[in-house]
Amino acid sequence: MKLKTVFVIILCSFLISCESKTNKRSFFAMNTHITIKSTCGKNKSANREIEQKFYNLEKLISTTAPVSEVYLINNNSGTVKLSDETFFLAKYALDGAVKTNGKFNPALYPVIRAWGFTTEDYKIPSDIEISQLLELTDFSKIKLDSETKTITMPEKMMLDFGAIGKGFAGDEAIRILKENNVPSAILDLGGNIQVLGKNLETGEPWKVGIRNPYEDGVAVSLKVTDCAVITSGGYERFFVGKDGKKYIHIFDGETGRPVENNVVSSTIVCEKGIYGDFLSTTLFVMGKEKAIEFWKENRDFEFIMMFDDLILCYTAGLKDKIDFLTDFNKIEIIQ
């Protein structure tokens, strides 16, 4: 047999065996059903390692588990020494709060907790209670020391990484997959999707669906490789008050109340999960005009926003990637 023929046979058998080497792992962590599907490389052990990593991260950043570092921060004023991961998240969150003038504010937890979003024992706090709790949300009073990896919290202030934790976990998963020479994977963490490489089963980019916020099903599909597609939706976690109004889990730090604007879902497409997660929540709070302004100032991500009345806008960079699976009344492209 010629050398070339041998090479072709080896290559073919590699491709075939690679295709059959898809490993799927599902588990529950960070209040979310998580699925990882990865192909080739040391995918099976990578998926196992990711599951363990997620449990470990949850142990660090859960607001409710008394063993977590975040619980320790929130229930002790003064200085607390943090792990590298929690310190990274605290720094990312506090820098993000400065960058967005508090539209993103990880110190809103005392307010969010008073509305019952932690325990699902929902209630509408009185105006007085809200304004008293808002006094505890000035993130500029929280100090970090990069040398000693410590955080210093004023009395009664509390942190919550709920808006970025899953994105960070997704980035850790991608890192583990790459370390294990896995060339292709898709992670599904509820509204957070992160993909590595392309879909080796089809040889095409991954097709990622964005949930229809108006009814069941998928509203938009995106063809993507190596990126994060992260959605925050008002339909994810909410309650209907005795006043008949819908109160969602994304908060406006100026009013201390759930956001009430015409946004129904906000999706970010970018490289890093943590950035996408940070921005999906932030742009939701900002609303359309401020979100567009922020995009024009930064231009290191793309976004899709859906509004009441079946209206959608998206940034021009997604033009060749996007397909619509439902009828919209109006679609606007932001240049």
Six token digits for residue 180: 């294990």
Site for ligand ADP in 265-304 (CB under 6 A): 277, 280-281, 285
Closest Cα to residue 160, out of 273, 285, 282, 70? 70
**Binding of ligand ADP at residue 191 (CB under 6 A)?**
yes
Distance CA 77, CA 332 (A): 48
Q: Among 3-11, 98-106, 217-225, 314-322, which window interacts with ligand ADP (CB under 6 A)?
A: 98-106
Minimum CB–partner distance for residue 138 and ligand ADP (Å): 14
State the nearest-atom distance from the C-beta of 282 to Mg ion, in Å: 8
Taking the C-alpha atoms of residue 126 and residue 314, their distance in angstroms, rounded to an integer, is: 38
> 162 contacts which partner out of ligand ADP, Mg ion, none, CB within 5 to 8 A by kind?
ligand ADP
Taking CB under 5 A as the criterion, the residue among 69, 171, 252, 277 binding Mg ion is 277
Task: Say how far apart CA 72 and CA 289 lie, in whole Å.
Answer: 38
C-beta closer to ligand ADP: residue 153 or 182: 153
* The one among 97, 280, 313, 318 contacting Mg ion by CB under 5 A: 280
Neighbours of 335 (CB within 10 A): 6
Which parts of 231-270 interact with Mg ion (CB under 5 A)? none
In the shown chain, the binding pattern of residues 99 to 138 toward ligand ADP, with x for contact by CB under 6 A and - for none, equals -----xxx-x---x----x---------------------
CA distance 29 to 251: 23
- Indicate which of ligand ADP, Mg ion, none lies near residue 253 (CB less than 5 to 8 Å, by partner kind): ligand ADP
Site string for ligand ADP, 160-189 (x = CB under 6 A): x-xx--x-----------------------
Long-range contacts of 118-126 (CB under 8 A, 24+ apart): 118/63, 118/64, 122/239, 122/241, 122/247, 124/241, 124/242, 124/243, 124/247
Give the binding site for Mg ion (CB under 5 A).
Answer: 163, 277, 280-281
